[in-house]
């Protein structure tokens, strides 16, 4: 039990202290009853003071907590062994007529305009405009290709007409070509003047 445990823990130091005190008292009585020669050899015994350690204080606190926990555990077990009967609810003996909540007026629905619906309408218009623009661009591209093909066909026809060989008229040899003498003065040649870079002579070449 908790009482036996506390007695076994706390009672041991008390016995040691009581035995040491009795031994000191017997030594003092013997020195008093002895003569002067023997009394000089008897010295005063050191009286030790009890230690006040924190471990002992923590042990006592822990022991008290343990004893309290064991008592609470025993009380809880005893309470569980003897359950108390609970009374029946009132509804089993007399039916209870609960008050009905007040009737509410019916909710009148109204049209809710969602932002997502508005955005969907705007998105459909935008998609329709994009589709019309793409169709218009495709038509322009087809018209441009058709016009380019027509221009190429016209150019090919013109090239074919130009490449047809034709007879050239006979040249008139009665008036032969006579080149005229130029009236410009003759070119006077001049001696070129080249720029020569000064060469650096190394010390070996100088020697």
Q: Is residue 19 part of a domain?
A: no
Q: How far is CA 131 from the centre of its chain?
A: 43
Q: Is residue 62 part of a domain?
A: no
Q: Is residue 59 part of a domain?
A: no
* pLDDT score of 194: 81
* pLDDT score of 196: 77
Q: What's the domain range around 156? A: 138-162
Q: Is residue 4 part of a domain?
A: no
Q: Is residue 154 part of a domain?
A: yes
Residue ranges in the chain modelled with pLDDT below 70: 1-24, 27-43, 88-96, 201-207
Q: Is residue 186 part of a domain?
A: no
CA–CA dist 101, 105 (Å, integer):
13
- Residue recorded with tokens 């955005």: 119
- Residue recorded with tokens 């018209």: 143
CA–CA dist 11, 5 (Å, integer):
10
125 DSSP assignment: H
Q: Is residue 54 part of a domain?
A: no
Helix axes 54-81, 2-33, angle to 10 degrees: 150
Note the pLDDT tens digit of each residue in 129-139: 999 999 999 99
* pLDDT score of 40: 52
Q: Is residue 132 part of a domain?
A: no
Helices (runs of H) and strands (runs of E) counted in the chain: 6, 0
DSSP result, 151-195: HHHHHHHHHHHHTS--PPPPP-TTS---PPPP-SPPPPP----PP
CA–CA dist 4, 12 (Å, integer):
12
Note the pLDDT tens digit of each residue in 21-30: 666 677 666 6
The total number of structural domains that make up the chain: 1
- Residue recorded with tokens 């016009």: 147
């Amino acid at each position: 039990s908790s009482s036996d445990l506390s007695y076994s823990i706390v009672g041991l130091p008390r016995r040691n202290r009581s035995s040491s005190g009795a031994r000191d008292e017997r030594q003092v009585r013997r020195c008093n009853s002895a003569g002067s020669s023997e009394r000089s050899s008897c010295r005063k015994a050191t009286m030790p003071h009890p230690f006040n350690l924190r471990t002992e204080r923590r042990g006592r606190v822990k022991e008290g907590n343990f004893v309290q926990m064991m008592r609470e555990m025993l009380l809880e077990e005893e309470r569980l062994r003897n359950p108390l009967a609970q009374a029946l609810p009132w509804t089993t003996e007399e039916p209870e007529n609960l008050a009905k909540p007040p009737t509410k007026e019916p909710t009148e629905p109204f049209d809710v305009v969602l932002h997502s619906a508005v955005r969907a309408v705007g998105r459909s218009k935008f998609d329709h405009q994009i589709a019309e623009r793409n169709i218009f661009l495709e038509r322009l591209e087809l018209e441009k290709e058709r016009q380019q093909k027509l221009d190429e066909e016209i150019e090919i026809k013109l090239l074919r007409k130009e490449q047809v060989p034709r007879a050239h008229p006979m040249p008139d040899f009665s008036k032969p070509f006579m080149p005229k003498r130029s009236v410009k003065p003759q070119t006077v040649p001049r001696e070129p003047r080249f720029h020569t870079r000064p060469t650096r002579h190394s010390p070996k070449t100088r020697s």
